[in-house]
Amino acid sequence: MPGVVLGPARYGKAGNRVVRVVREGRTHHLKDLEVSIALEGDLEETHTLGRNDKVLPTDTVRNTVYAFAREHGIASAEEFALLLARHFVAGQESIHRARVRIEEHLWERIEVPGAPTPDGEVADPPRHSFVRSGRETRIAQVTVDAEGCEVLAGLTGLTVLNTTASEFHGFVEDRYTTLRETTDRILATEVTALWRYADRLPGAGSGTGAGTGPDEGPAPDWDARWTAARDHLLAAFALTHSLSLQQTLYEMGGRVLTGVPGVAEIRLSLPNKHHVPFDLSPFGLENDHEVHVAGDDPHGLIEATVLREGATARIPPDLVNAL
Ligand SMILES: O=c1[nH]c(=O)c2[nH]c(=O)[nH]c2[nH]1
């Protein structure tokens, strides 16, 4: 093209979500990275002539990320980034510079006491359950009218993951079903929960409504209740050997209803954040539930209200979806 030249150019694969599980007996460790790779070098003819003889496909770049996670492990984000960047520059004559940027998603272990087993023993607490650090929002919504108050409380952005103790099989199959049954998978979700308290609190025109008026009992300890509800959600997620996310949802809701004073109803919205083992067999590597692709959209979405027997479902599902 006369009068036109190529300026700075680069190419690569962005947003490679790699989740690696390392098992030390019952104790599992987790690394969750989003790896973006940009390669620069002799890219002139690729652009100007459409020649691909110097193009390492971005698909190969992506495969390398997952294969390296299996072959070399992920000691740290920095170490892993260096390993990859050096590999591309050393391995491809046409690549002169590689920039590898990693965003690491940080997880903390969910610490729960062991649950009682049917034969009266206490099982060891799970060592395969994690919660994402620092992404949560607490929610309170109160409605007051002449009849009284309705208090809803909840949270969004509570992201949790079990590296095992999750199965999914026995489901309906029709001519479009391709999903394989599994007895061991990662189960991960970002919890949105809204629960309703059944306390009979005074409505408008009855003092402050804060438990300080002469006819009012002591104000409920909202903070303690919220913290207990969150703890129960986490404990139920960690302690349930899941046969589906639907079953886990029911256990989570039930545990809040039975464990937190005053809760009559809880609505849960749980996206199923899929993690699929990456197929490393073309590279002669085994992958025994170790290196996963963390999928983005589309995702399963499991939603339900769990109620105290006799209570009425009053939390609007749309309200929870709007959080
Ligand atoms: O726990 C699950 N529930 C489903 O309804 C479902 N559907 C699916 O494809 N995977 C899963 N997992």
Q: In CATH, what number is assigned to the domain containing residue 150?
A: 3.10.270.10
- Specify whether 120 is located in the same domain as 233: yes
- Distance from C-alpha of 181 to C-alpha of 147, rounded to nearest angstrom: 51
Q: What b/e string do you get for 192-215 counting C-beta neighbours within 10 Å, with b at 16 or more? A: bbbbbbebebbeeeeeebeeeeee
Query: The CATH number of the domain where 22 resides is what?
Result: 3.30.1130
Q: What is the pTM of this model?
A: 0.92
Provide the domain count of the chain.
2
**Would you call 13 a catalytic residue per the annotation?**
yes
Of 105, 134, 162, which residue sits at a domain end? 105
Site to probe by mutation for ligand 1, drawn from 171, 174, 237 as the one with most ligand atoms within 8 Å of Cβ, is: 171
Instruction: Examine residue 128 and state whether it is found in any structural domain, yes or no.
Output: yes
Residues 66 and 162 in one domain: no
Atom of ligand 1 nearest to the CA of 274: 10
- Considering the domain architecture, whether residues 230 and 309 belong to the same structural domain is answered as yes
- Specify whether 194 is located in the same domain as 137: yes
The alpha carbon of 230 and the centre of ligand 1 are apart by a number of angstroms equal to 24
- Do both 166 and 63 map to the same domain? no
Is residue 179 lining ligand 1, measured as CB closer than 6 Å? yes
- The span from the CA of 129 to the CA of 179, in Å, is 25
Q: Are strands 148-162 and 11-24 parallel, antiparallel or unpaired?
A: unpaired
**Domain of residue 234, residue span:** 108-321
Q: What is the pLDDT of residues 245-280, one digit of tens each?
A: 999 999 999 999 999 999 999 999 999 999 999 999
Domain boundary among 105, 139, 154: 105
Residues 6+ apart with CB under 8 A from 262: 197, 198, 199, 220, 225
Do residues 192 and 123 share a domain? yes
The answer to whether residues 215 and 306 belong to one domain is: yes
CA of residue 136 to ligand 1 center, whole Å? 25
Q: Are residues 185 and 151 in the same domain?
A: yes
Q: Is it true that the peptide bond before 8 is cis, omega within 30 degrees of 0?
A: no
Active site residue 312: no
In a domain, 177, yes or no: yes
Task: Output the tens digit of pLDDT for each of the chain's 323 residues.
Answer: 999 999 999 999 999 999 999 999 999 999 999 999 999 999 999 999 999 999 999 999 999 999 999 999 999 999 999 999 999 999 999 999 999 999 999 999 999 988 778 888 888 899 999 999 988 999 999 988 888 899 999 999 999 999 999 999 999 999 999 999 999 999 999 999 999 999 888 877 655 545 444 446 788 999 999 999 999 999 999 999 999 999 999 999 999 999 999 999 999 999 999 999 999 999 999 999 999 999 877 899 999 999 999 999 999 998 999 99
Count of residues in the chain = 323
Residue 5 inside a domain? The answer is no
59, containing H or E segment: helix 58-72
In a domain, 244, yes or no: yes
What are the backbone dihedrals phi and psi of residue 247, each rounded to the nearest 5 degrees, phi first? -65, -40
Residue 53 lies in a domain: yes
117 occurs within a structural domain? yes
Asked if 95 and 134 sit in the same domain, the reply is no
Residue 2 within any structural domain of the chain: no
Q: Are residues 97 and 233 in the same domain?
A: no
Which of 84, 105, 126 is the C-terminal boundary of a domain?
105
Which residue type is seen at 19? V
DSSP-derived letter for residue 69 is H
Positions of E strands within the chain: 11-24, 27-41, 95-104, 107-109, 129-132, 137-145, 148-162, 187-197, 263-272, 275-277, 291-294, 300-307
Question: Which value, to the nearest 10 degrees, does the dihedral of the CA atoms of residues 221, 226, 228, 231 take?
Answer: -160
Same domain, 315 and 246: yes
Q: Are residues 27 and 121 in the same domain?
A: no
Residue 216 is predicted with a pLDDT of: 62
Measured from the CB, is residue 300 less than 6 Å from ligand 1? yes
**Has residue 168 been placed in a domain?**
yes
User: Could you tell me the distance, in angstroms and rounded to a whole number, from the CA of residue 258 to the centre of ligand 1?
Assistant: 26
Catalytic residue among 29, 54, 87, 274: 274
The ligand 1 atom at the shortest distance from the C-alpha of residue 179 is: 9
